């Protein structure tokens, strides 16, 4: 989609405006930073909550996804889950939601996700995504951290997006918060799309998708909180993709997508992270995918399933 008709940034801004207008309902705090940037604390000092996490996920997807919570009586251990869906999954998940923008300054570090990435286009991924926005009057970036971005990071984002700081909104929440937990677990579809890309499946052939994963209890320790949210997808996520192309290609995608195909599968993520001495990028990237996958070839009417819900690993990680 080359002409920007999806309007990732405009869609996201509408949700941001609603979030600010109903700040008490969502338990968030809004302020202006030193350069005039909009700052939304969704779970650092402010309470945030499940609903704030849902809105954050929708913002991350550039307004091209629907996000909801559900309770399942049949799952007595982790009955609450986050379900996401998009009929434009490549744009929603890869051009917007994927946390692919590393933002650092001195001791500050955060991964940026959201539609500002589609304006900046500083990641190699955008060499393969034709989508481009040229008329966005404002933009949004979500940061997985408990601190607002320093002025140097705001200036970096401003320069990359071509927008003045007062046209930028930064939403931040730590993984240990309810909102932060929800928005990470709300990436079940995103990780499936990213792995499909790494497997060189044609992105244009992915036409629809939905995913879900259980919501773990937040944990005050960052490493444990990060481990739980990742394991919720790696060992408990379920994704269905609808694709064009041959049945053989759909079958191969289904067989390769599950997290169980990774060499690092089989331990709680927090333990894997310790094994690699905190080097996130040393972990096999193929681990970051759903536990179970369903791929439907819409031109042949065939459906292929692979992977499985790993209750033992969920019990070790989620408690």
Residues 200-238 have pLDDT tens digits of 999 999 999 999 999 999 999 999 999 999 999 999 999
pTM of the complete model: 0.95
Strands, E assignment, the chain: 29-32, 38-41, 66-71, 80-86, 101-105, 108-113, 139-143, 168-172, 206-214, 238-243, 292-297, 302-307
CA distance 285 to 256: 13
**Cα→Cα distances 216→80, 233, 258, 311, Å:** 8, 10, 20, 13
CA distance 120 to 117: 5
4: pLDDT confidence band, cut at 50, 70 and 90? very low
Query: Two tokens at 39?
Result: 């700052």
Beta bridge partners of 139: 168
| CA-wise closest residue to 241 among 228, 255, 230, 231 | 255
Tens of pLDDT, residues 94-152: 999 999 999 999 999 999 999 999 999 999 999 999 888 888 999 999 999 999 999 99
Residue 251 CB neighbour total at 10 angstroms:
17
Q: Residue for token digits 């302020």?
A: 31
CA distance 258 to 24: 40
Tens of pLDDT, residues 76-110: 899 999 999 999 999 999 999 999 999 999 999 99
Averaged confidence pLDDT in the chain? 95
Provide the pLDDT for residue 135: 86
Query: pLDDT at residue 1 above 90?
Result: no
């Amino acid at each position: 989609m080359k002409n920007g008709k999806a309007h990732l940034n405009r869609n996201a801004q509408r949700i941001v405006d609603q979030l600010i207008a109903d700040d008490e309902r969502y338990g968030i705090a809004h302020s202006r930073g030193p350069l005039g940037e909009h700052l939304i604390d969704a779970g650092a000092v402010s309470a945030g909550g499940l609903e704030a996490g849902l809105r954050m996920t929708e913002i991350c997807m550039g307004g091209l996804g629907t996000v909801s919570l559900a309770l399942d009586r049949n799952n007595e251990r982790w009955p609450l889950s986050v379900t996401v869906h998009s009929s434009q999954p490549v744009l929603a998940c890869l051009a917007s939601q994927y946390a692919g923008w590393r933002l650092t300054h001195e001791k500050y570090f955060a991964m940026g996700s959201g539609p500002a990435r589609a304006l900046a286009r500083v990641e190699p991924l955008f060499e393969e995504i034709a989508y481009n926005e040229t008329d966005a009057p404002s933009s949004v970036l979500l940061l997985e951290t408990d601190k607002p971005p320093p002025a140097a990071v705001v200036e970096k984002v401003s320069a990359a997006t071509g927008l003045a700081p007062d046209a930028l909104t930064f939403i931040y929440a730590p993984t240990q918060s309810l909102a932060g937990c929800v928005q990470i677990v709300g990436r079940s579809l995103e990780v499936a799309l990213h792995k499909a890309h790494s497997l060189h499946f044609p992105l244009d052939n992915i036409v629809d998708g939905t995913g879900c994963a259980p919501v773990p209890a937040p944990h005050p320790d960052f490493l444990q909180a990060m481990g739980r949210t990742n394991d919720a997808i790696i060992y408990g996520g379920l994704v269905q993709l609808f694709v064009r192309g041959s049945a053989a290609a759909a079958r191969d995608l289904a067989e390769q997508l599950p997290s169980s195909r990774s060499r690092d599968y089989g331990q709680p993520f927090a333990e894997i992270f310790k094994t690699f001495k905190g080097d996130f990028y040393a972990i096999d990237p193929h681990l970051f995918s759903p536990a179970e996958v369903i791929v439907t070839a819409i031109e042949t009417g065939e459906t292929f399933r692979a992977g499985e819900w790993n209750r033992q690993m969920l019990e070790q990680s989620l408690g």
